[in-house]
Structure 1
Amino acid sequence: MIERRTVFRAAIAAGSVGALAACSGRTAGTAEVDPAQVPPKAKITAEPAVGAKDVSVLAPVTLKVEEGKFTEVSVTNPEGEPVAGHLDGDKRTWTSSEPLGYGSTYTYTAEADGDDGKVAEFTGSFDTINPATLVRATLNPVDNAEVGVAMPISVKFNEPVADRAAAQRALVVETSTEVEGAWAWLSDRQVDWRPKEYWPANTDVKVTAKLYGVHYGGGAYGKADVTTQFRIGRNQVVKIHTPDHVMRVYRDGRESASYPCSNGKDADPNLNTPNGTVIVMTREPTSIFDNERYGYTDVKKKWCCRISNHGEYIHENEENRANIGKNNTSHGCVNLFEVDAKAYFDSALIGDPVEITGSKADFPLTSDVMDWLLDWQTWTSKSAL
């Protein structure tokens, strides 16, 4: 009896399996799916998306595939030239590695082998931003220049910049010696960087202005990146206390030369050699001076170092020889004997500081280079960040 019940249960079990098998079969009237019609598992996506408009030229193009690996990726510009890029290690992500062009249509195509063995394909295009205005920037000092310890870094734009913070974020200063400094906007077209104190002598400086693609506001964008590398020279500082009638030159903190001079007329603040720290802006072997208000034109002088756009120079003036070292009789310039003017001229670098004290008037804040006329707190308050 036990044996017969066992067999019976096995038969029931076998019958149940058969019934289940019958229930799992194709229902009459349902068509079989052709495996060739099943779409590939691999899914390819792109950023920017297909058909995107006004795409930033700085945003990387990225193509990704899920459940597969790329066998081919191509992004091309309107001329059919490829955009540089690279696949990651597992061949599931491609990323561009160069900026795009303004106002252009880019096309991408890609193929990937899916994990199911099927090939997935992808095509599409997008358009980049077309700026209303392209703004050009220049950078000073220029490459390979050797400059004095008060030389500022200056970025000038040919159009006003509305979003100053965006522009400033694109500016990087690298130095061979640690230097504390800051950017300050001197106008809506100019931003300067200067150290808190004079540069350490012999510092190497690299400036990178990654301005291409930066939106300055109002549809204005940066036209191009600009860079420069320059060097700070020896430490030389000129000090003039106008009542003393002496121009002193210091190298590395020690007086290295002194020259008798005649400065601007003491009695008239409009003719003073003004107080303040300025820099040597140009070195001109000869210059022509004109000031119709004071009755002279086409006056030629030698060994001229311009120290402001207000009209002040350090230069020879043998015509004023009788007053050099004795009286202040110039119209604001620092007059030297010719031999002394030549000696100083030969020693000077663009960016050397000239510190002037003792006058009734101060330098106005109208010169192209007025960076050192501002105290540090005022300077840092002009940053956009």
Structure 2
Amino acid sequence: MIERRTVFKAALAGGGAVVLAACSGGEGGDAQPNPDQIPPKAVLSAEPPVDAKDVPVTTPVTVRVAEGTLTEVRLTNPDGAEVKGELNAEKTAWTSAEPLGYGRSYTYAAKATGTDGRPVELTGSFATVKPAKEVRATLNPIDDAEVGVGMPISVKFGEPISDRAAAERALTVETSTPVEGSWAWLSDRQADWRPREYWPAGTKVTVTAKLYGVHYGGGKYGKADVTTEFRIGRNQVVKVHTPDHVMRVYRDGSEYKRYPCSNGKDADPNLNTPNGTLIVMTKEPTSIFDNARYGYTDVEKKWCCRISNHGEYIHENEENRANIGKANTSHGCINLLEVDAKDYFDSALIGDPVEITGSKADMPTTSDVMDWLLDWETWKSKSAL
């Protein structure tokens, strides 16, 4: 804990040592103070104080003077480089304008002139906190991305975070149109933000994660700030009611296209295309599918849109042509004819919602992209704030 006290060294105009007040007297008169022994009126102080240890790197450094004005303030790092700062209009306070570095010593050199015209100085140093580990974070979507109306914002940390509230307080979301949303921790390494309802089409989003200097607990600190700006595209939602063998695509709430499909086997819940609202996670022109348990490896399919980390895709399967639009015979994926798979692939954005109903099984909430599988109240309960 930083000791809240003020230490300064004052250089008197005459350069003499500070002593207890002394008096001199003349003949028949009262004793008079010696002007050289009266302390200057100006008082310099600094925050953090001289000799402070474990100083936070993002808290502004301030130097102030009472009963005077500042004439010079220099705060230097161990390399001799000056920290940027600004004086207020009255020249009574100087405040640093950039973050400090971890595990470094900084030196004060400040001067002021008091209302009595006498100079004072402040010198000394303090040391910043040295993390046990600096933790990097990443943000998704990336800058300039155009994504679907179901796209969550995801912050992933390189280490488990114990003080989630501290990390979450450093995260802000700004939108070009008002959008209700909330952060939720999906694991001790991941916090996602999603809107209560799908994003309004065309919304511009700015995310700022001011994580540098944030203490995550256990001596772990944020390594750097991260930001992203992205845009929500048109409103496109896929709906599949598995018994119908039809994949419907909606634009702005109206049916836009429909494709015959074959979904996961109805008789085996382990092979169902599970119920739930998912999103398009990746778009892969070709993908390799392996499932030794069911007797296939290195099977290549085209125009593949991953919709879960549980193994489900929307993709072409000409080998299953006889059942497409007629029967559910896949191992969980949504099978389309090649021409339809290509047509849908070309229209899809990462983050487009895919709503699946009618199956015997529900999508498990074990994926790191399970945002729309939780109702709103459950989602909000996962916030650390």
What letter is aligned with 1:127? A
Q: CA deviation at 1:25?
A: 5.8
* Aligned residue number for residue 190 of structure 1: 190
Q: Distance in 1 between matches of 2:196 and 2:27?
A: 86
* Aligned residue number for residue 212 of structure 2: 212
SS at match of 1:193: strand
* Aligned residue number for residue 18 of structure 2: none
SS at match of 2:329: coil
What letter is aligned with 2:301? K
Q: CA deviation at 1:133?
A: 1.4
> Any residues of structure 2 matched to 1:238-317 within 5 Å, and which?
238-317=238-317
Q: Distance in 2 between matches of 1:383 and 1:33?
A: 66
* Aligned residue number for residue 10 of structure 1: none
Q: Distance in 2 between matches of 1:192 and 1:373?
A: 13
* Aligned residue number for residue 232 of structure 1: 232
* Aligned residue number for residue 10 of structure 2: none
SS at match of 1:154: strand
> Conserved in 1, the CA contact under 8 Å of 2:87 and 2:94?
yes
Q: Distance in 1 between matches of 2:196 and 2:42?
A: 58
SS at match of 2:121: strand
* Aligned residue number for residue 144 of structure 1: 144
> Conserved in 1, the CA contact under 8 Å of 2:186 and 2:368?
no
Number of positions where the alignment pairs a residue of Structure 1 with one of Structure 2? 362
Worse overlay, 84-93 or 344-353: 84-93
* Aligned residue number for residue 333 of structure 1: 333
Q: CA deviation at 1:278?
A: 0.2
Identity of aligned residues (%): 77
Give the alignment's TM-score, normalised by structure 1.
Answer: 0.92
Structure showing the higher helix proportion among its residues: 1
SS at match of 1:359: coil
Q: CA deviation at 1:115?
A: 1.2
What letter is aligned with 2:300? K
Q: Distance in 1 between matches of 2:47 and 2:26?
A: 43
Q: Distance in 1 between matches of 2:32 and 2:176?
A: 74
* Aligned residue number for residue 158 of structure 1: 158
Q: Distance in 1 between matches of 2:273 and 2:368?
A: 17
Q: What value does the CA root-mean-square deviation take over the aligned residues?
A: 1.6
> Any residues of structure 2 matched to 1:1-385 within 5 Å, and which?
26=26, 35-385=35-385
Q: CA deviation at 1:34?
A: 5.4
Deviation per CA, 1:34-88: give whole Å up to 9, x if none.
5445442211111100100001111111111111111111111111111111111
Q: CA 1:25/1:298 → structure 2, altered by over 3 Å: closer, same or farther?
A: closer
What letter is aligned with 1:190? Q
What letter is aligned with 2:153? I
SS at match of 2:311: coil
* Aligned residue number for residue 19 of structure 2: none
What letter is aligned with 2:45? T
SS at match of 1:111: strand
Q: CA deviation at 1:32?
A: 7.5
Q: Distance in 1 between matches of 2:77 and 2:195?
A: 43
* Aligned residue number for residue 15 of structure 1: none
SS at match of 2:41: coil
SS at match of 2:325: coil
Q: Distance in 1 between matches of 2:97 and 2:206?
A: 23
Q: Which has the larger radius of gyration?
A: 1
Q: Distance in 1 between matches of 2:214 and 2:367?
A: 29
Give the alignment's TM-score, normalised by structure 2.
Answer: 0.92
Q: CA 1:115/1:315 → structure 2, altered by over 3 Å: closer, same or farther?
A: same
Q: CA deviation at 1:262?
A: 0.4
Q: Which runs of 5+ in 2 are unaligned?
A: 1-23
> Conserved in 1, the CA contact under 8 Å of 2:307 and 2:313?
yes
Q: Distance in 1 between matches of 2:101 and 2:202?
A: 39
What letter is aligned with 1:133? K
What letter is aligned with 1:151? M
Q: Distance in 1 between matches of 2:245 and 2:59?
A: 61
* Aligned residue number for residue 14 of structure 2: none
Q: CA deviation at 1:122?
A: 1.3
* Aligned residue number for residue 20 of structure 2: none
Q: Distance in 2 between matches of 1:259 and 1:191?
A: 35
SS at match of 1:98: coil
SS at match of 1:311: coil
What letter is aligned with 1:344? Y
Deviation per CA, 1:168-219: give whole Å up to 9, x if none.
1111000001001101111111110000000000000000011111111111
What letter is aligned with 1:274? P
Q: Distance in 1 between matches of 2:302 and 2:231?
A: 28
SS at match of 2:322: helix
Question: Any runs of at least 4 consecutive aligned residues in structure 1 with deviations exceeding 3 A, and if so which?
Answer: 27-39
Q: Distance in 2 between matches of 1:59 and 1:169?
A: 15
Q: Distance in 2 between matches of 1:25 and 1:44?
A: 33
Q: Distance in 2 between matches of 1:317 and 1:173?
A: 40
Q: Distance in 2 between matches of 1:27 and 1:84?
A: 57
